[in-house]
Structure 1
Amino acid sequence: MSTFNGLPAHVLFVHVIVVLVPLTAGLLILCAVWPAARARLIWPAVVLSVVVTALMPITVDAGEWFQHRLGDPPVVDEHARLGHQMVYFVAPLLITAALLVFLHLRQGRGRPLGRTVVAVIAVLVLAAGGAAAWQTYRVGDSGAHAVWNGVIDH
């Protein structure tokens, strides 16, 4: 999909990503460090991690279409480079969500994992969530600079 109602689809998808990636990261971190939150929020967090992972290639494809439509301005190259890297930041969200589901199901069956394993999972979730949120900021910031510094004419 290249446009939606006359707007570049990338612009619309990006706003979804900018909201959902940090939200997903935050929910996963909450689930990792607070067992009561995990009991209530694990499934919405897993659904969000699947959604952001599925939306990432769609957003990148729409961005490539938009970039070519603009004539490949050099300042957009940095944004595109960072955007292509996002898959390496959302995939760990999905992986750590799966680890949290494993932890949740084990505890629900009365077979909790050891503290060390739980701590390692929590550290992995914190690292994946923090990295995904930071990369989302970097990609968004480079795109905003491209727009607001006059590269994209309206």
Structure 2
Amino acid sequence: MNGFSGRSKTWALALLLPVLSSCVEDGPGPGGYNPPPRPWPEPRPQMCTMEYRPVCGERGGRLETFGNACQARERGFRIVGTGECSRRPDRPDWDDRPGRPDWDRPSRPDWDRPERPDQGGACTREYRPVCGQLGPTRQTFPNACEASNAGFRSVTPGECRR
């Protein structure tokens, strides 16, 4: 035997063609019913950076300040503004700085100096000391970024001389 003859192949193809073509979905289902697409939740990020760009988020009528937009979205909050959430007279339960039990304490040693910059940037932890100057005051800082954040101008590399 040398397999199928030409006529057998034709019959096999004629029988298989309707079976194979019935596997293709085309158009609405029986009775014209087309089920709606399944709602998939919006994918949430797996990991957020620790970059500090505060945003105000809202969920269920509750406001909360987050370090950045990614962290707010990860917790299911909708971003309603940039910066920390401010106190709202229509929300007496909302504190000025939620999540910070130390909100009334200074975060920097120069907090009460009016000449210090309003916004400090994030600095690396590299140790490359500089001598910074602000008016007549000289102070040693671990790096130029820290000096700048404190409102000082870097004047010399290394520690300040006494």
Q: TM-score, normalised by structure 2?
A: 0.19
Greater radius of gyration (CA): 2
Larger strand fraction of residues = 2
Pick the structure with more helix per residue: 1
